[in-house]
Amino acid sequence: MPKPSLSPQARRNRLIGVICGVTFLGMVGAAYASVPLYKAFCQLTGFDGAVRRAEVAPDTVLDRKLLVRFDTNIRELPWTFTAEQTSQTVRIGETGLAYFKVTNNGSTAMTGRAMYNVVPESAGAYFQKLECFCFSDQTIPAGKTIEFPVVYFVDPKYASDFETKGKPEVTLSYTFFPSVDAEKASRRADASQAKAPSALGGNTKAGL
């Protein structure tokens, strides 16, 4: 028995439903794809409190001083992460040096990545680093403590920007997370080992 044909209104409703579904999926995909782009944009421009990476220190050092506070956090890692100094007073444009310690309290080596930002957010464009453990993944052996230096400065333009010139202090905050890149590499290595052919032919198996 032939199916009854849809009315123009029903066909229109179905078309609208399909369009809405495709649009929703496209928006979700774009949102996931935009995460690394957004992170790169923030670190390049200092937007949303992200700290910028610098190649050289400024030539100008102002007489005005700034209080820099340090904050440390851990997420999903059996580590102890501390700043060796709670704060420092530096002149704007002057190079500062701060030290941080990370201890792996776990039974195996683990790799983490430190994310960072500055409060207030408006200071992110001017707080810049020359050297930092946050630029790459850090692998800490089991039971070991490693000390990391951070070399930074606050751009002299901080003193003339109407959003920052009246603010006497900033807070540099770090949070260590398990490294996503290290986890992906480990999964790829495990998959490659599982597929590797044995000397007797076929795939290798646990226990053989």
% of the chain with per-residue pLDDT over 90? 54
| More confidently predicted of 111 and 46 | 111
Using the predicted structure, report yes or no on whether residue 145 has a pLDDT greater than 90: yes
Q: What is the per-residue pLDDT across 101-128, written as a single tens digit (0 to 9) for each?
A: 999 999 999 999 999 989 999 999 999 9
Q: What is the pLDDT of residue 48?
A: 42
Query: 204 pLDDT exceeds 90?
Result: no
182/178: higher pLDDT: 178
Confidence of residue 5 (pLDDT cuts 50, 70, 90): low
Residue 164 dihedral angles phi and psi, to the nearest 5°: -125, -20
Give the pLDDT of residue 45.
Answer: 43
Lowest mean pLDDT among 1-5, 8-12, 25-29, 157-161: 25-29
Between 51 and 194, name the one with better pLDDT.
Answer: 51
Residue range 63-95, pLDDT digits in tens: 999 999 999 999 999 999 999 999 999 999 999
Q: What is the mean pLDDT of the chain?
A: 77
Which tens digits make up the pLDDT trace of 30-41? 444 444 443 444
User: How confident is the model at residue 169, as a pLDDT?
Assistant: 94
Give me the pLDDT at residue 7, please: 62
Instruction: With a cut of 50, say whether residue 178 has pLDDT above it.
Output: yes
Provide the whole-model pTM: 0.65
Q: Listing from the earlier edge strand, what are the strands of the sheet with 65-74?
A: 87-91, 65-74, 169-178, 110-119, 138-140
